[in-house]
């Protein structure tokens, strides 16, 4: 850990979410002071009047835009928040972005334009998409995952590795300032193979059924998700899962000097915690 990161206070946005909760844990374990930021803590990305109180006096921030970094409003929000942070002296900013998502580049650009000492972590799909969040209930209850993942392989990453990379970037002086780091898991798996590994770990029959992104969007609309949210998601799924991301990225090894956690370990641990019990 670099000398000047001792006593560092880091604002962790999305602190109750999949990555933010792990970033908060890893930062605490590294001796940083964590200031959790989400709506439950009075911080709202959609309400600029809530930003300064959370940022003031901190040294660094982990920025995670809710829902989708490629959403039309994300670049503006990331740009405004980053400017405000830099203006308040919070210069060290690490943004969670998405690997191979064209729509995410605007938010990354907005961060760079803020004058911050920035790092972007471009992540593959999270392994924890199968254990936390909107896909889990369906898998647990019906035993089937219906998703527009086709037969395209993806190197799912354990979000704990993202957290370790974020904290290493924060605590390693200027080494990762001005850099984008692409991270993935160690192995390519199709969605079908991932669900099969989960089924093996959970000891029950679980299946995967591929649908088109368009059909999936219609299902979301049927559940009442507003059209302005559905359309960018459909575009993102079409793009992310068209084969362009069917390769590994070695950011975890570059930054941490070790291999990323394997999907099998994730599946075994989550199964042991009862995640997919009917
Ligand atoms: N899923 C993937 O595979 C993947 C891959 C690469 C990149 N990403 C990116 O990861 C991001 C999502 O990260 P995540 O999965 O860690 O988050 P998450 O689990 O979806 O949790 C969202 C977090 O944001 C907070 N939040 C929601 N709305 C908010 C608001 N208006 N103001 C302030 N906080 C708000 C939530 O807490 P409260 O409800 O308490 O506010 C929660 O802590 C997206 O930008 C996505 O594009 C995802």
> Region 150-164: what's the mean pLDDT?
96
Reference 61, options 10, 120, 113, 5; nearest CA is: 10
Query: In this predicted model, what pLDDT tens digit does every residue of 133-156 receive, in sequence order?
Result: 888 998 999 999 999 999 999 999
Whether the model clears a pTM of 0.85, i.e. scores above it, the answer is yes
Residue keyed to tokens 């991932």: 194
**pLDDT (0 to 100) of residue 235:** 87
* Nearest-atom index, ligand 1, CA of 71: 47
Angle between helices 105-112 and 74-87 (to 10 degrees): 20
Helix locations, the chain, DSSP H: 18-29, 51-55, 74-87, 105-112, 136-142, 159-171, 191-202, 213-222, 227-240, 251-256, 263-272
List, in order of start, the domains of the chain with CATH numbers.
3-125+156-185+247-261 (3.40.50.720)
For ligand 1, the distance from its centroid to the CA atom of residue 203, given in whole angstroms, is 30
* Nearest-atom index, ligand 1, CA of 67: 44
- pLDDT-derived band at 6 (thresholds 50, 70, 90) equals low
Ligand 1, atom 41, residue with closest C-alpha: 39
Query: In this predicted model, what pLDDT tens digit does every residue of 246-267 receive, in sequence order?
Result: 999 999 999 999 999 999 999 9
């Amino acid at each position: 850990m670099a000398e000047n990161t001792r006593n560092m206070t880091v604002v962790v946005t999305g602190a109750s979410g999949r990555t933010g909760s792990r970033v908060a844990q890893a930062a605490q374990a590294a001796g940083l002071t964590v200031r959790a930021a989400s709506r439950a803590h009075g911080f709202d990305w959609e309400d600029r009047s809530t930003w300064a109180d959370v940022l003031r006096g901190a040294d660094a921030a982990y920025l995670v835009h809710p829902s989708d970094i490629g959403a039309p409003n994300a670049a503006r929000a990331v740009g405004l928040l980053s400017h405000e942070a830099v203006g308040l002296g919070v210069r060290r900013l690490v943004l969670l972005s998405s690997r191979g998502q064209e729509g995410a580049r605007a938010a990354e650009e907005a961060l760079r334009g803020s004058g911050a000492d920035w790092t972007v972590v471009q992540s593959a799909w999270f392994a924890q998409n199968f254990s936390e969040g909107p896909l889990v209930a369906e898998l647990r209850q019906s035993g089937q995952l219906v998703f527009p993942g086709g037969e395209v392989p993806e190197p799912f990453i354990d979000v704990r590795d993202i957290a370790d990379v974020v904290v290493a970037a924060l605590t390693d002086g200027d080494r990762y300032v001005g850099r984008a780091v692409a991270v993935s898991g160690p192995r390519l798996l199709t969605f079908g193979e991932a669900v099969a590994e989960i089924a093996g770990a959970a000891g029950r029959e679980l299946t995967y059924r591929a649908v088109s992104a368009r059909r999936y969007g219609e299902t979301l609309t049927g559940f009442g998700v507003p059209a302005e949210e559905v359309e960018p998601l459909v575009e993102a799924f079409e793009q992310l899962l068209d084969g362009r991301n069917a390769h590994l990225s070695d950011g975890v090894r570059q930054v941490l000097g070790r291999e990323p956690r394997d999907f099998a370990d994730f599946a075994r641990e989550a199964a042991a915690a009862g995640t997919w019990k009917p």
